[in-house]
Structure formats: C-alpha cells, structure tokens
Amino acid sequence: MTHIKNVFLKPGELVVSPTPVIIQTVLGSCVAVCLLDIKSGCGGMNHFMLPRSSKKNLSYKYGDYAIAQLISQVSALTGNTHFLVAKIFGGASILKELTSSIGEKNINLSLSTLKENGIKITARDIGGAEHRTIHFDTSTGRVRMYRANKSKTRIMLPVAKQALGKQKILVLDDMISRMVSLKMFLQQKGYKVAISSDPDAVLKKQKQSNMDVLIANADSAVKKVDGIYFYVSCKDDNTKKDVTVVVHEATGSLGKVIFDNGYADYYLDRINTEADLNKQIGNLLKAMFNQKSNIQ
C-alpha cells in the first residue's frame, strides 16, 4: 500500500511537491490557491493572508508574491505552464466590519492573477462567512472541503523550544489590575515580564527585538488595539524578530477572527477572571516551551 505524505499549511506558507502529497489548511479571510500540472502530477498550494506586498516585504503572506511563486515553482518542475489548472478557496467575511474587504481583495487578486497567467480555474469555493478546511490531494487533483462547525474550538500550535525563564513577555491590556496580576504570577514562574497599555510602544519593542511573546486582550478598548490591523502589524516582515502572539477574550469574537486569519499563534477564549487568565497563560507557556500542543 502506498502512503501519501500529509502536510499542514499554516498562514503565510507555500508547499510544492513533484511527488504525491495531501496538503491541508484552514481558511478564514485568507485564500488558498491549489495548482496542479495535470500532465505530470506536480502540484502545490499556498495560503496567503493579504493581497499585495511591497518591494521590502516579499513573503508568502501576500497573494501577489505567493501566487507568482507557486506558478514559478510548479512550472520549474515541469518545464512549462501549458498544463496548469487551479482551484481557489477562502476569502470569507468572518466579521464583516473587520475582514470583508480583506477577503474580497484576496479573492479578486487570485482571480486576476490566474487570468493574467492564462491558468484555468476548474473549481472555486470563495466568499461567504464560514471557515473552510481543505485537503488537496495532488495525486488526483481532488480537493475535499469542510465548512467549520459553529462550536468553539481551542487550537494550539507548537513553537520553537526555548529555555524556561529566558523569554521576554509583554502583556498588553487596558485593565491595570489584570496586567499586574498576570505579571506577578509569571514572574514567580521565572519569566521576564513587562506590561503596557500603549500599542505603539509594543510595536517599538518588537522592532528592537525586545519581546518574545505578546499576550494581548482582544476585548481591550485600548485605542488602536480594538481591531485586526494592530495584529497584522505584529506579524509584519519588517520587524527584526518573529514574535509569538497570544490573544485572549472573555465573550467577544475578535480574538477568534485574529487567530483564524493567522495574526495570532494562540487563542484562549472564555477568560472571565484574573485567576483564570493566570492559570491558562501559565499552562500555555509551560506547554509552548516544552514543545507540547493542544492544551485545554
């Protein structure tokens, strides 16, 4: 029996393979383009977050660069683009006031770029207001798609292992007592912790490589933080250091949107008390730095 390799694609990543592979990903307002050479069976997929990059920001997070590279890398394996076909998915409006324009721009960029390159789109499931999970099998060209159920799910992703106590953690919130409580709790665990209610100061620390982990309250009413674009800036490629972003919230839905669209690495919901926040963050950090995942 032949076993086909499975690959999970995170936001801002691209996979191309000359051999059969099943590529999986989860989409919100992000878009994935599945590309296949129907003659050779070579194929690949990207998962991009925003439509356009800049000359200083060439990254698979951006659709113009991610699609161009996908076409280039697949055609490099086959020698031409004559037999390429594409399928596109995603571009949902999870919260209309936050992501409708992002999803729509991602979709339009995908359609126009594929048309400009003369690549036929054989299937699409785009727009709407639901998350999608897709499985692209390059051995057959088929895509299985599942629409996300409405139940709350907490998903954790592993990060690189570091020595406990060496991490610089910054807590961003609009409630001083909650920040101080979490700071004292984490300091007792051996972490180096700073607190702030100023998002500009947070981004400055990031650019100076003075932060390893950002813990932000998505329910916050802090100016410039009550929206998705602050978190986009936290993942900007111009920064010197890749910061792990943790968002938490009590009753809202912004945190889930931020996480689902790839602007946060971890998401904690139903955090209603300081004690609960301290416990959940403590467990999460312990799991992160010991290479464990799926902590509830």
Burial grade of 186 (CB within 10 A; 0-12, 13-18, 19 or more): buried
Using CB atoms within 10 A of its CB, is residue 57 exposed (0-12), middle (13-18) or buried (19+)?
middle
Degrees, nearest 5: CA angle 92-38-9: 40
- Can you read off the two tokens belonging to residue 203? 């981004």
Answer yes or no: 30 catalytic. Answer: yes
- Which residue among 30, 34, 42, 234 is the active-site one? 30
Give the Cα separation of 288 and 286 in Å (integer).
6
DSSP 43: E
Phi (first) and psi of residue 231, to 5 degrees: -75, -30
CA nearest 203: which of 194, 211, 191, 215?
A: 211
Q: Active-site residue numbers?
A: 30
